[in-house]
Structure 1
């Protein structure tokens, strides 16, 4: 039983811890950049630090509570809820709560929305006044302004002492140009014929020429110069917060910040309204109508801003650049030509080698032909020595006679060079002699008694190549059987010259 109760107690404790509000115990802080004095377009100058900001004045139930500071009570994303110190209404203690939706533009500039609905009992102030006994644990209970917010209903926080020329932003493109303008304060139309506005010399600044028209202060500026500080665009409408460059303002005829709502038509004519401090919702102001103390303006374009041109480099740099370009182009051309020449020579070399290879192949094929066309006496100057390299077996009476047992004989008297053991060929690689005798084992055999023998297998186990044509060998090996030179000579003289008809 005790264990069950203990578990229930622990569960309750966990729930309490989770549901506990993130109060000002160090867990809620404002953005660190918000530290110092800032100008608020809604409330004037406000001092900020990471835990508090203020001071504010709240009037409710016919009582005024001044110098209220809002301490960071709860933070949820961009929503920051501030809670004032307690104050007494009649006999009870109360807190005032405020909700701001903060957005950082830079460390010196923020824009924000008051995210709490207006309180009628506090003269329309965007606060909630609740008894101190009320626990505020969620942002939604304080930040109850419907979203999206009305167009233009934003305020700005701008750090005091910041250089406006540095923090200014470029004005909307629709505002850039040189214009003639007119201003209507609701009762009088000013600067109808003589006026001039320049938003080209500096596209971050509006410069009114008051020497042309000085009957009234345009955009609540005595000096006629205002900087674009922040803007929002909705469709074709521009909401611009302008910062007055006057040395001082009186918050009556001149103001530190001014809102201008601008819209251009298709012909380039700009319609705008102005309002002190900050922009208002569409029921108070739009581009053509505005409530008091606002005024309306019409901008007629005189000429557009000149288009920025590229700066031309100095003449020396142009020359150097041109020279570098010429040199680079020349080198590139030479490299391309050299590469083309190399490729061309390579092609010629390949074609030449291919032709040479083709000729060699044809010559090899011609040498492979071993046709025998015996001829008579030929011109010895056209004869070339020929030594057969293949040993071609011959056959007589079914008896194979190897080449090593063959001897040839030539008549030295016919004018040919050579003798026993030599052979002579003509330009066709054919044996040419008056008489050819083959001697084997002391026996002389004439050429017409020989026939080709079947090729034996080589000693290496492969097949001996079969010649396409048979040419009687004319080489005498060291193993040739010697016979009497006289007998060979006589036989040669008595034997008729024989010719062997080549095979087709």
Structure 2
């Protein structure tokens, strides 16, 4: 009987796991969101719908159901199967969600790329052992491989924008854009990063062609940035009305396409741009893989960036200078006063005042009880009588004269 009860509990736990009862996505994610790698996604408390993924010619997307959760990591199982190589396969995916704001999240993909379809998926034959986090969340992505997600309409409303990287807060009159392999480039482009600190606006030179642009209009909104290894990684939103690329195969690119999202890695006057998300750890401000672009900024005409640290240093030096001037002025004033004899006059006046004050103090002292000091009866007083200080002095002087 005991074994039957244990088996029943194990079976019920399995059912709860499979139905997603133990896995709930954040309430804020309910609605339509835009993923930098997957495009528009409809999300509710337990599902991610219309997720583009190439499984077969007939299966081009999955609806994911959450079946397991461990802190920020979520394991998803496809609600349908894909017929591949004569067998039915179920897909599994592991995502780690991080909140930036109510309208902006990002996630890391912990499921490695499958070599069959070159995408993040763990495909298991139907009727095999159910997937778990241990078997699906096996990859450890770097911080720079984050995938930005923004709520629909939040970029247009300004709710999801962020201040662009410090090196981009300037107006450059000569920006050179080159292909990843320097096969071609165009110069004399203008970039305005100051009219709005959350946007970059490029004015392309006529020599630029489609291979030098990921945005037809050249207007980008900064969404999020991180600093790693001395470089700044910036997630960008393309404000073009329409784009030419798709989200079906996220690691396949065509020359001359435009993209809704891009990742820029910048340091100083050098930067690289890559579609959707940062390509990998090899992307840096001077090197990027296909179909990335390389940018060199020059001709800075003005800056809208004010470094707080520099301001603090300036205030510090101003305080030192003002303090020094105060001390010098005080010394000069003292020297002038000394030469005019102010201190000598004050000394005489102060000495006279001191003598008068001393006498006043003596006169104001209370009477003293003293022993009788006399030689004649005319000055006789009882030893307990009280005499003033002046009387004492007079008696003493008279007594001395009599002798």
Q: Give the TM-score normalised by structure 2.
A: 0.68
Q: 1:106 — aligned with what?
A: 101
Q: 1:228 aligns with which of 197, 222, 232?
A: 222
Q: 2:208 — aligned with what?
A: 215
Q: 1:275 — aligned with what?
A: 274
Query: C-alpha offsets along residues 399-452 of structure 1, whole Å, 9 cap, x if unaligned?
Result: xxxxxxxxxxxxxxxxxxxxxxxxxxxx979xxxxxxxxxxxxxxxxxxxxxxx
Q: 1:373 — aligned with what?
A: 376
Say if 1:19 and 1:137, in contact at 8 Å, map to a contact too: no
SS at match of 1:85: strand
Say if 2:103 and 2:159, in contact at 8 Å, map to a contact too: no
* Mapped pair 1:297 → 2:295: yes
Distance 1:20 1:249 in 2: 43
Greater alpha carbon shift after TM alignment, 180-189 vs 130-139:
130-139
Query: C-alpha offsets along residues 17-46 of structure 1, whole Å, 9 cap, x if unaligned?
Result: 788863435331111111111111111111
Say if 2:189 and 2:203, in contact at 8 Å, map to a contact too: yes
Q: 1:176 aligns with which of 135, 156, 169?
A: 169
* Mapped pair 1:201 → 2:205: no
Say if 1:82 and 1:98, in contact at 8 Å, map to a contact too: yes
Distance 2:4 2:271 in 1: 66
SS at match of 2:303: coil
1:354-503 matched pairs, under 5 angstroms: 355-356=362-363, 360-361=367-368, 364-365=369-370, 368-369=371-372, 371=374, 373=376
1:50-129 matched pairs, under 5 angstroms: 50-60=45-55, 64-87=58-81, 89=83, 93-121=88-116, 123-129=117-123
Question: Structure 1 residues 388 and 74, CA, compared in 2 at 3 Å: closer, same or farther?
Answer: closer
Distance 2:92 2:99 in 1: 22
Say if 1:40 and 1:157, in contact at 8 Å, map to a contact too: yes
Q: Could you say which structure has the higher helix fraction? A: 2
SS at match of 2:237: strand
Q: 1:261 — aligned with what?
A: 265
Q: 1:332 — aligned with what?
A: none
Distance 2:355 2:207 in 1: 90
Q: 2:318 — aligned with what?
A: none
Distance 2:213 2:51 in 1: 28
Aligned residues: 327
Q: 1:114 offset after TM fit, Å?
A: 1.6
Distance 1:136 1:350 in 2: 103
Q: Give the TM-score normalised by structure 1.
A: 0.56
Q: 2:389 — aligned with what?
A: none
Structure 1 spans left out of the alignment, 5+ residues: 265-269, 310-346, 375-382, 391-426, 430-504
